[in-house]
């Protein structure tokens, strides 16, 4: 009876009637030979129109999408088996065979609701996906059936889970009310199972393959298609109209699942029509016109990385007739990593990003191969390490498939371009200033913007000093997520509120939250030897007595490069004023005016000049736990007496090692 139920699952996604489907080639592409691109602006109408669906039905190939290389391609897998990354996964799969799959208990699920802990359930949940991915890759390498029993067992556990959504997403999206919650985790589960099915095919048991189609349909495809057909986007799929990474990540999971598992070309076309309607919301509103993402590098990896992979699936499934990686907006988003580097390989940790955050080698490699942005260093001659197998909520085999299928026989040997002295993302008010020259790499990143950004921190005026691959002085970035992180209590966190950032404390007040609390760029000066930008930070504080607050960032180039941070403040009546330095390393007080900050094997010397006013230094360890179980240290620099006006200058200079 159970098998019969699974085998009937095809009827859950029967195509809606639009008349006879258009045969491939019956609709004329506007410019013959030029692939269809993603619209630059979202549509304001319900997407399920005859024209949109027919247009995609006309360009989809007849067969379903099958990520390569499938297990039958023994020549490809024999070559891949020689690579270090695949060997590493194979060894891990052997180790996983000796362990049992984690148990997802009700107590683990409820922990988020009762204590705020996300990690217990998500760690166990993620481990199941990772084990399945390891076993599948290992079976493709060996093809002897050694891992098939473990694959069947892991699939049975996943297919029987009460929900594929994690509790941090299930509760806010009203899972208890019977809503089918299609979240980041569920979309990823669907994609993973679809690739496992495509790679292994009939080596899986027939009831298992039927169960995969039934459960992916019920948990992933039906909720999406119902919303896309009607235009009624409910809480379970609210990400369809989101401007953040959820839109792209969930769409990637949905599209890979649909294109791989659904036989009806007409129904597959509906999913493309839906994506064409809703994905432009992310591309238009999730980035500035210059391609800047306020979510930062980690969520660029996650969100735009998902967009890259879904584009590859769509391009393959349409034999190149649809290419959503075209267009100037896509190119600007793709160029963001090159422009954001403070020094080579060092990027700002603004917003919910960890210090030391990197861009995905897989994503950069994929971009350069498709768009040829003039970044030859992004191309990987070998399979990128680490293999793009893992993400925060599990594992993906689709990105691995794209990686394994890339042609690496002809590589661009063009020279790596020299980084510009500066980059400005004007709309976001983010600046990258670089010393250049022959000295050790040294640079500065700082931001204005507003306090209502995606993954917002109250951080107007925050900055990061990079020297020779390290960031001794920094913005602390993200905390380990808890229930509080995305709740009304978010800004109780010392590293999300302005208190834990290297920004002023004005009349004892921190910065306020919301888009109206914003900075303004007052002036900028660019020269070969010296760059200077002044931000008006007054708009970030609800302090009636505050008349003006300007912060100037200055980078001096040459044989002795240095940075100055200059705060000028005026009050209508005397008020307290303070600023701060933040590090993951250590502070060392040299004398009353000088502090050395050490981290990552590099040191920056800070000289404090308060224009004759006395001040005190107070060092504290912020309570929030950051990634890798680190904690940030804050050195408060507080004027001893209330002031009507003050000028505080911090001079920061790298110390030769």
Predicted confidence at residue 243, as pLDDT, reads: 95
Predicted confidence at residue 41, as pLDDT, reads: 79
- Under-50 pLDDT residues of the chain: 1-12, 14-31
- Pairwise CA distance, residues 48 & 53, whole Å: 7
Work out the number of other CB atoms within 10 angstroms of the CB of residue 451: 22
Predicted confidence at residue 237, as pLDDT, reads: 96
Written as one string, the DSSP assignment of 131-174 is HHHHHHHHHHHH-SSSSHHHHHHHHHHHHT-S-SS-HHHHTTTT
Q: Determine if the peptide bond prior to 69 is cis (ω within 30°).
A: yes
Predicted confidence at residue 414, as pLDDT, reads: 67
Predicted confidence at residue 22, as pLDDT, reads: 38
Predicted confidence at residue 17, as pLDDT, reads: 36
Predicted confidence at residue 28, as pLDDT, reads: 40
- Pairwise CA distance, residues 10 & 8, whole Å: 5
Predicted confidence at residue 16, as pLDDT, reads: 41
Put simply, whether the predicted model's pTM sits higher than 0.75 gets the answer yes
CATH no. of 422-655: 2.70.98.70
Predicted confidence at residue 33, as pLDDT, reads: 64
Predicted confidence at residue 409, as pLDDT, reads: 73
Look at domain 50-404 and name its CATH class.
Answer: mainly alpha
- Pairwise CA distance, residues 530 & 560, whole Å: 12
DSSP 327: S
Q: Is 67 helix (H, G, I), strand (E, B) or coil?
A: coil
Predicted confidence at residue 50, as pLDDT, reads: 80
Helices (H), 360-509: 361-371, 398-404
Q: In this structure, what are the phi and psi dihedrals at residue 465, rounded to the nearest 5 degrees?
A: -105, 125
Predicted confidence at residue 30, as pLDDT, reads: 43
Q: Which residues does residue 347 pair with via DSSP β-bridges, in sequence order? A: none
Domain boundaries defined on the chain? 50-404, 422-655
Show Cβ contacts of residue 163 under 8 Å, excluding neighbours closer than 6 positions: 170, 175, 181, 186, 219
Same fold, 50-404 and 422-655: no
Longest dimension (CA), the chain: 85
């Amino acid at each position: 009876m159970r098998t019969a139920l699974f085998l009937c699952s095809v009827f859950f996604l029967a195509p809606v009637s639009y008349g006879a489907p258009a045969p491939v080639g019956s609709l004329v592409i506007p410019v013959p030979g030029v692939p269809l691109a993603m619209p630059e602006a979202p549509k304001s109408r319900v997407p399920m129109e005859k024209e949109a669906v027919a247009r995609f039905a006309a360009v989809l190939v007849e067969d379903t999408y099958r990520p390569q290389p499938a297990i039958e391609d023994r020549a490809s897998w024999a070559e891949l088996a020689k690579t270090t990354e695949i060997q590493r996964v194979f060894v891990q799969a052997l180790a996983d065979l000796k362990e049992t799959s984690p148990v997802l208990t009700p107590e683990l699920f409820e922990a988020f609701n009762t204590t705020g802990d996300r990690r217990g359930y998500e760690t166990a949940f993620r481990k199941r996906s990772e084990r399945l991915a390891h076993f599948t890759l290992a079976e493709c390498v060996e093809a002897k059936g050694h891992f098939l029993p473990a694959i069947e067992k892991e699939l049975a556990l996943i297919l029987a889970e009460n929900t594929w959504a994690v509790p941090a997403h299930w509760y806010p999206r009203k899972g208890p009310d019977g809503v089918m919650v299609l979240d980041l985790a569920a979309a990823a589960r669907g994609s993973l199972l679809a690739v496992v099915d495509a790679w292994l095919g009939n080596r899986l048991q027939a009831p298992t393959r039927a169960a995969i189609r039934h459960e992916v349909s019920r948990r992933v495809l039906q909720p999406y298609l119902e919303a896309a057909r009607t235009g009624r986007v409910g809480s379970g799929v609210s990400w369809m109209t989101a401007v953040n990474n959820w839109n792209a990540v969930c769409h990637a999971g949905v599209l890979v699942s649909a294109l791989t598992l659904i036989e009806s070309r007409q129904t597959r076309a509906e999913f493309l029509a839906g994506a064409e309607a809703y994905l432009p919301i992310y591309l238009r509103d999730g980035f500035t016109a210059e391609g800047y993402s306020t979510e930062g590098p980690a969520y660029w990896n996650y969100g735009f990385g998902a967009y890259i992979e879904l584009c590859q699936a769509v391009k393959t499934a349409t034999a190149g007739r649809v290419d959503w990686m075209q267009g100037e907006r896509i190119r600007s988003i793709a160029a963001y990593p090159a422009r954001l580097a403070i020094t080579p390989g060092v990027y700002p940790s603004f917003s919910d990003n960890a210090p030391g955050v990197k861009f995905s080698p897989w994503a950069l490699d994929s971009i350069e191969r498709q768009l040829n942005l003039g970044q030859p260093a992004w191309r990987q001659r070998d399979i990128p390490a680490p293999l793009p197998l893992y993400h925060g909520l599990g594992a993906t085999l689709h990105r691995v498939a794209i990686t394994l299928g890339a042609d690496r026989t002809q590589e661009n040997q063009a020279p790596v371009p020299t980084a510009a002295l500066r980059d400005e993302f004007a709309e976001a008010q983010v600046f990258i200033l670089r010393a250049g020259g022959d000295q050790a790499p040294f640079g500065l990143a700082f931001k204005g913007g507003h306090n209502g950004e995606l993954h917002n921190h109250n951080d107007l005026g925050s900055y990061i000093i990079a020297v020779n691959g390290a960031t001794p002085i920094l913005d602390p970035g993200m905390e380990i997520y808890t229930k509080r992180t995305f709740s009304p209590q978010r800004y109780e966190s010392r590293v999300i509120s302005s208190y834990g950032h290297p920004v002023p404390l004005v009349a004892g007040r921190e910065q306020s939250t919301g888009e109206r609390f914003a900075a303004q760029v007052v002036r900028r000066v660019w020269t070969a030897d010296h760059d200077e930008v002044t931000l008006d930070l007054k708009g970030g504080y609800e302090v009636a007595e505050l008349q003006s607050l300007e912060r100037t960032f200055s980078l001096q180039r040459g044989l002795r490069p240095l940075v100055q941070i200059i705060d000028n403040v005026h009050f209508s009546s005397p008020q307290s004023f303070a600023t701060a330095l933040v590090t993951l390393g250590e502070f060392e007080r040299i004398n009353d005016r000088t502090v050395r900050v050490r981290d990552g094997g590099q040191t920056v010397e800070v000289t404090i000049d308060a224009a004759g006013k006395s001040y005190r230094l107070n060092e504290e360890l912020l309570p929030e736990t950051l990634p890798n179980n680190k904690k940030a240290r804050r050195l408060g620099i507080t004027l001893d007496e209330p002031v009507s006006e003050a000028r505080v200058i911090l001079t920061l200079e790298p110390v030769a090692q």
